[in-house]
Amino acid sequence: MPTPDDSVLNPNENRLIMDEKNYKPHEQKTEYNRLFSMLTEEQRRVYQDIIYSVNQNKGGMFFVHGFGGTGKIFLWSILGADIRSKSNIVLNVASSGIAALLLEGGRTAHSRFCMPININEYSMCSIDAESDLAELIREAKLIIWDEAPMMNKHCFETLDRTLQDIMKCNRIFGGKVVVLGGNFRQILPVIPEGGRVATVLASIKSSLLWPSCKVLKLTENMRLRKGVNNVQSDALAEFSKWLLDIGDGKINEPNDGEVEIEIPEDLLTASEDPIHAIVHEIYGKSFAKENDPKFVKRRAILSPRNEDVDKINQYMLSQLPGEERRYLSLDSIETSDTSVFDDMVYSQEFLNSINVSGLPKHELTLKKGAPIMLLRNIDPKGGLCNGTRLIVTQMANHVIEARIVTGNGINEKVLIPRMFVSPPDAKFSFRMRRRKFPVALAYAITINKSQGQTLEYVGLFLPKLVFTHGQLYVALSRVTTRKGLKILITNEDGTCQNKTLNVFFKEVFDNI
């Protein structure tokens, strides 16, 4: 047998640092030169501001604000290539698993920095100052955090306190350069039972860190530069402006943040059977015969509420040929939180009926060939994270075999096991856990779940109005072209409409 590498046997080696330094400097330099030649003037100014702070060890907090298509991911790539070409470390994180897949070496912020799920103004990351992770953070030259606006301000304040403790420095983020990126037109932090004030107060804009943040803007739509001809480019520019006006609340001004807008006729679809109509527009009549995973990857129907998403998914599943497989969850109460008497009070039927946010439903029905979405981070490096879409290939008693169709590892077959899942917030006098496959049907998905994904064909199904900032903008901006978008709006009696509600909070745009 060959002799093992000494680095594998050396217990003093920090594997986290070794993984981050595993990039070949000459390859990173070549990639940097390629990307640098493609920079626009606007992108170059943002890049130079950030890299100057990195090279001079000045530290600081930056926020790169730009809508989809302005090149934020491109900017993260050139920053990473520059720093790694000098054998230094850059840590790429994102607020969601699906966004982390777009970053080189990306991880979710909670995973990378060991943040608590239930976070508050006193939280700290679970990082020992003498641990390998703390050493990795001390070595890092730059931290990039994508899709930042969707996170609670306490997450950034928690990281700030933790980095100050690790670095033994009372400067913001312990003297590290931290770059946040995102678009305030998109969905803000979700506050259960919270209204406009609670949502705005939870935003990064309301954090004590924000006055120390330098805002850098990206405003040039790179997709327009790639227009095949002037006609297509003009149409894309018009569509992009319409989307930005919705996101900024500039349609039907003056308004107080909730305004009814009229949808252009070419984007609307109507029928006496709304579900059949929107399915036909996006998936066509013969979707059940399609075997190409790319067909499903490029399409989705969006709706603001789970109940409407479930109706569409059940209809689509009923049209798919093949035998159904029904999986039921095993629900229990954590013994540390209850007594034997309490176990008798809460019947299995009651536990099975519990349906709250963040908890998969008791019953899951699948067919071979059905698209599903992961609801938990299983293996982010392997492309299995919250938001990854897959196609079911086999259904066994204890595992589901599926083929990845988005993110990393496309077309790779994976096995999905049952997992214990608990609600993120205690809504009962006990803490329950549900043993279930962490997946859901994904012909249709909620608007919140679609954030960070890019699709070619999107159907927006609105039997009920959007209810929070950015939902309408996020749904409409998932497509890159106007022809890929269809909208179906109905009122309570089922008749189709050409107007819908747009909700936006103008106060989050102050000083941007």
| Weakest mean pLDDT among 234-238, 279-283, 438-442 | 234-238
Tokens standing for residue 84: 């790694």
For range 133-149, the mean pLDDT: 96
Phi, psi of 53 (to 5 degrees): -65, -35
Region class of 59: left (phi > 0), else alpha (psi between -120 and 50), else beta: left
Strand partners, 415: 401
Say if residues 444 and 274 touch (Cβ distance below 8 Å): no
User: Three-state DSSP class for 356?
Assistant: coil
Distant-in-sequence, close-in-space partners of 102: CB < 8 Å, separation ≥ 6: 73, 94, 146, 407, 452
Choice between 333 and 218, residue whose per-residue pLDDT is larger: 218
Of the CA atoms within 13 Å of residue 20, those in its CB half-sphere come to 26
Q: What integer pLDDT is reported at residue 511 of this predicted model?
A: 74
For 183, the token pair is 């678009």
Complete DSSP assignment for 173-207: GGG-EEEEEE-TTS-----TT--HHHHHHHSGGGS
This prediction has a pTM of 0.90
**CA 246, 248, 253, 257: dihedral to nearest 10 degrees?**
90
Once rounded to an integer, what is the mean pLDDT over residues 381-388?
Answer: 85
74: region left, alpha or beta (phi > 0 left; psi from -120 to 50 alpha) = alpha
**pLDDT tens digits, one per residue of 464-501:** 999 999 999 999 999 988 999 999 999 888 889 999 99
Predicted pLDDT at 308: 94
Helix (H) / strand (E) containing 128: none
User: What span, in angstroms and rounded, lies between the C-alpha atoms of 65 and 293?
Assistant: 33
Contact, 157 vs 149, CB < 8 A? no
Give the count of alpha carbons within 13 A of 188, CB side only: 29
> In sequence order, what are the beta bridge partners of 214?
62
User: Rounded to an integer, what distance in angstroms lies between the CA atom of residue 488 and that of residue 6?
Assistant: 62
Q: Tell me the average pLDDT across 139-155.
A: 96
Among 284, 316, 288, 321, which Cα is nearest to 303's? 316
Q: How far apart are CA 1 and CA 89, in angstroms?
A: 34
The mean pLDDT value for 13-26 works out to: 91
Instruction: Please check whether residue 408 is in contact with residue 298, taking contact to mean a CB–CB distance below 8 angstroms.
Output: no
Measured between alpha carbons, how far apart are the two ends of the chain, in Å? 61
- The rounded distance, in Å, linking the Cα atoms of 50 and 215 is 11
**pLDDT for 338 beyond 90:** no
Domains parsed from the chain with CATH numbers: 11-220 (3.40.50.300), 222-324+443-512 (3.40.50.300), 325-366+371-442 (no CATH)
Q: Give me the sign of the Cα torsion angle 365, 368, 374, 380.
A: positive
Q: Which residues of 428-450 are buried (b: 16+ CB within 10 A; e: fewer)?
A: eeeebbbebbbbbbbbbbbbbbb
Report the distance separating Cα 142 and Cα 76, nearest Å.
11
Minimal CA–CA distance to 246: which of 183, 198, 194? 183
196 vs 206: CA distance, rounded Å: 13
Is it the case that residue 98 has pLDDT exceeding 80?
A: yes
8 Å CB contact between 72 and 146: yes
Q: What is the DSSP letter of 28?
A: H
The answer to whether the beta carbons of residues 96 and 208 sit under 8 Å apart is no
Burial of 118 (0-12, 13-18, 19+ CB in 10 A): exposed
Helix (H, G, I), strand (E, B) or coil at 120: coil
pLDDT at 459 over 90: yes
Please give the average per-residue pLDDT across 251-259, as a whole number. 87
Mean pLDDT of 243-249: 93
Identity of the highest mean pLDDT range in 22-31, 100-109, 252-261? 22-31
> In the prediction, which pLDDT does 1 show?
64
Q: What angle do CA 84, 87, 90 make, to 5 degrees?
A: 45
Whether the CB-CB separation of 374 and 67 falls below 8 Å is answered with: no
CA distance 182 to 205: 12
The reported pLDDT for the residue numbered 57 is 92
CB 444 within 8 A of CB 313: yes
pLDDT tens, 216-236?
Answer: 999 988 766 654 455 567 788
What pLDDT shows up at residue 394? Answer: 95
Query: What's the mean per-residue pLDDT of the chain?
Result: 89
Which pLDDT score, from 0 to 100, does residue 421 have?
A: 85
Please report the pLDDT score of residue 224 as a whole number. 62
C-alpha to C-alpha distance for 69 and 83, rounded to whole angstroms? 24
Strands (E), 471-510: 485-490, 496-497, 499-503
Confidence of residue 154 (pLDDT cuts 50, 70, 90): very high
Residues 135 and 144: their CA atoms lie apart, in Å, by: 18
* Whether pLDDT at 7 is above 80: no
